[in-house]
A and B are shown apart, each in its own frame.
Chain A
Amino acid sequence: MSASSPLVLLERDASLPLIHAGISTRSGADDDPPGLEGLTRIAGRLMRRTAGGKSPDEIDARVDRMGASLGLDAGHGGVALSGVVLERSFADFMNLLEETLTSPGLALDELERLKRETSAELVEILDSDQQLAQRWFLRSVFEGHPYGRTVIGTERSLAAIGVEDVRCCLAREFRRDSLVFAFAGAVDAERAQQAAGAIWQRLPEGGGAPPPPPEPVAAGGRRLVFVDKPERTQTQILIGGIGSHPRDADHFALLLANTVFGGTFTARLTQEVRAKRGWSYGAYSSLGYDRQRQAFSMWTFPKAEDAARCIALELDLLQQWWESGITEEEFVWAQRYLVQSQAFARDTATKRIGLKLDEMLNDLPEGYHDEFVARVQAVSLEQANAAVRNRISLEHFVVVVLGTHSVIGADVKKAIPNLAGERVVSFDTE
């Protein structure tokens, strides 16, 4: 049964004359048909550029005149049309959102221009070693899973996208029951509800959250993907595999253990790689999630000569963490850190609304963020160490190295014991 009113989240804070407003959908690039990768992103952007049948120039000038910004972000599990506006221009901003969602022009010439721009972005990415390494890491960890697919698209998939594909995509995503309206700042509940309602009632009924993608599965042993780029004085290294989701019973336990391992500036990874040896400017590990488990990853970027020994050190640290766990002292410190630093997760209205959206759009357990502190405090040391052994695999992980293969390839390979597979790809392989 369809809802009778829009779903509106609000965090009021009138200390500055600013309002953040956004509309999020519950399906995203994971639903792009095979061969049309990048469709969701293109469709959203085309809608944003042709609101009310106007030209992009007119729309961009109007946004600037309001003292606003308006962007469209496409992710695996959803799309967010959102921005910030000076309070005095709020009504016009919401009118623009309404025109964007209810009467986009979707002109063919603009679609073609957008596709050419996106192709240029794909070329620009070749300048970013970090983005290239990240792309190959996700592609390798989530091989065969939607999280391994590209959100931006490929030259071939972009070429295949037509206006009708865009219409179908928008019709699927922007339906009443698929949307969450979120407001933060100098706006009260009545005004927010009214603004959201005006848009919502003009949209088609139906929608809702599609089922989440399947659970990703770790497999393939220890694999090395070397992204070969000439003349690199430095490498980008990502090591990891499947991580955890807040729905997992041991998620908070793993979060605590990871805080000790690589979650902060004084964590083991940073101390060993950066502070003691000076090998990398940054050295961190992180746990990500969408509607399913995303990756657990370690990230370092040592100079080329240090790459092999840095990988060996990271694998040693990983093994120690897995086999011996964290100490009581480390555990108590991490618990205090996570509890105390929560103040900064929610110190602005925008952050608080972000937490609510995160909970709703990523299928988190109810109260995940509100009860964060209590849940961290409920974890025991034994649970934290068990979570590492349960969730982190020493057998199945991917090592992605971006560097110059002819210079360091052989040493990097030697640094990874029991390697099940090695692949060398040129950095500009799509």
Chain B
Amino acid sequence: MSSSSATKNAPPSLLTQRLNKGASKDRQVHHLGGYAFGPALRIERYAMGNGLSILLVEDHAAPTVAYHTWFRVGSRHESPGKTGIAHLFEHLMFNETEHLAAGEFDRELEELGAESNASTWLDWTHYDIAVPSSAFERVAELESERMQHLVLREAQVESEKEVVANERRYRVEDDVEGSVGEQLWATAFERHPYRWPTIGWMADIQGFTVEDCEKFYRTYYAPNNATLVLVGDLEPERALAKLQESYGGYRAAAIPDPPLEAEPEQTAERVRELTKMTPTWKLNLGYRSPALGHPDHLPLSVLTEVLFGGRSSRLVKALVRDREMAGDVRGSLSPLRDPGLLEIFVSGREGFRADQLQSAVDAEMDRVLAEPISADELERAKARIELGLLQGLQTNEGKASTIGFYEVVLGNPAAGFERLQALNELRPQQLRDLAVRYLGRNSRTVIRVEPQPGLAAAGEGE
């Protein structure tokens, strides 16, 4: 192990020149530029002839490498009746390949000491492997194998559908917050694919066939639809040579645009009332919010922090501490390619109904519209955002996740730090103007949850 700064290497142009000697067009690697990533690190961007994007950060602080593969496909690419296939497919990617029997992929990774996981969301699918640096080359072989040589069999697809159905029961059907959140998005969006959950509707999950999965794989799992993010204890030339060997034989595919329908503007408040097996009332609100790439997103994220970030934030202080109406208040701004929601979840305390919780939320929202954010509130929010970003960068895994996320959603892997810099330009008045623009009641959706009658315990029976 050496220091955290990068070691001296050949400049990228010389390096690619050496790598491309005698290589076919698909295998050639081109250096497309670099980005500062914080004070000490640098992201180098490469592309292979077949369209595979590669973002590489050399950091020798620990003898590990984060090997992340991002595919630009998520539930936004699905259609009604086939919801959840991107997520189901993420599960199937851990199965049999042409050269590995079922289970061998994970078994070998574990034997190498690697930790692997995956996640799917509205805009992307992400496979992450944390690998001891000594095993990097074998992981490149394993990871590239499943990009193009997956084998889909009926028994495995059926079993994995059952696993996903169980995941849905765990995260949604038997989870109050999960099921309410799903209803919020389904009510707030009428046309855009963000209206269905990434995990998919239960009937759709149970209806998938091997053919559906094959079609999805052949459509979206191609090198030109993927970005590799490699961070850690690696030597660039050797790493790129291995990637050339592992992925260079793959051909680019024609990736279709997602079947998107623009979401019409919301002009009136939408309200749904649900009854759930829960001891207290809940309230879930969603205000239409801008896409991550919109200039308003960053200031709105600061406003979200002022309102919901930590115990000193306005709504947490008002509802949890001062008025003791809620056990929990949370707010988050969706970081998506297309406009999403500023989502608020309130879990009431016993004795407080959803309409009372909503009145209290509204009072605080009205205050934002009426009074400017103080300079102190703004500074606190900025400091919290800075802390959050830095905390996410403590491991190679964290760095690779941050880089890959901003690359896939914005096309800019260094956007995390750039957004941090831009915070310095923000002024309190801007936040008030934003509140007027985005926090109107006509552009929001409200889900109220009433506890099911008779929930009270029957007492202990032996």
Contacts and interface: CB of A to CB of B under 8 A. Distances in A.
B458 A64 contact: no
B456 to A, nearest CB: 7
B61 A15 contact: yes
B64 A123 contact: no
Consensus secondary structure, chain B interface: mixed
B166 A281 contact: yes
Interface size class of B (residues with CB under 8 A): 35 or more
Nearest to A124: B327
Contacts of B462: 423-424
Nearest to A274: B163
Contacts of B212: none
Consensus secondary structure, chain A interface: mixed
A261 to B, nearest CB: 14
Nearest to B177: A127
Interface in A288-345: 301-303, 333, 336-337, 339-344
B391 A84 contact: yes
A337 B169 contact: no
Contacts of A17: 390
A123 B349 contact: yes
Interface string B103-132: 100110011111110000000000000101
A64 B457 contact: no
B106 A266 contact: yes
Interface stretch (B23-31, B49-57, B265-273, B375-383): B375-383
Contact of A230 (B277, B381, B390, B395): B277
Interface in B54-84: 61-64
Task: Give the interface centre of B110, B111, B135, B387 by most chain A CB atoms within 10 Å.
Answer: B110
Interface string B316-357: 010011001001100000000000000000010110000000
B383 A303 contact: no
A86 interface: yes
B166 A234 contact: yes
A67 B386 contact: yes
A57 B321 contact: yes
Contacts of B312: 57, 60-61, 63-64
Interface size class of A (residues with CB under 8 A): 35 or more
A244 interface: no
B162 interface: yes
Contact of A343 (B132, B347, B455): B132
Interface stretch (A113-121, A382-390, A410-418): A113-121
Interface in A389-404: none
Given A61-B376, A266-B106, A344 B130 contact: yes
A120 B40 CA distance: 46
A303 B174 CA distance: 10
A126 B384 CA distance: 31
A333 B110 CA distance: 8
Interface in A50-75: 56-57, 60-61, 63-69
B4 A340 contact: no
Interface in A103-162: 113, 116-117, 120-121, 123-124, 126-127, 129
A426 B457 contact: yes
A278 B64 contact: no
A129 B171 CA distance: 11
A129 B174 contact: yes
B113 A342 contact: yes
Interface string B144-160: 00000000000000111
B252 interface: no
B166 A343 contact: no
Contacts of B455: 230, 428
B167 interface: yes
A127 B383 contact: no
Contacts of A67: 383-384, 386-387
B247 to A, nearest CB: 25
Given A86-B390, A233-B174, A281 B459 contact: no
A265 B106 contact: yes
Contact of A127 (B160, B176, B457, B458): B176
B248 interface: no
Contacts of A280: 163, 166
Nearest to A120: B327
12 contacts: A85-B387, A86-B390, A123-B349, A127-B279, A229-B277, A278-B161, A279-B166, A281-B170, A301-B166, A341-B115, A344-B64, A423-B462
Given A86-B383, A124-B280, A124-B327, 14 more contacts: A16-B390, A18-B387, A56-B321, A64-B384, A116-B324, A126-B278, A233-B169, A233-B173, A234-B173, A266-B106, A276-B159, A281-B166, A343-B132, A423-B462
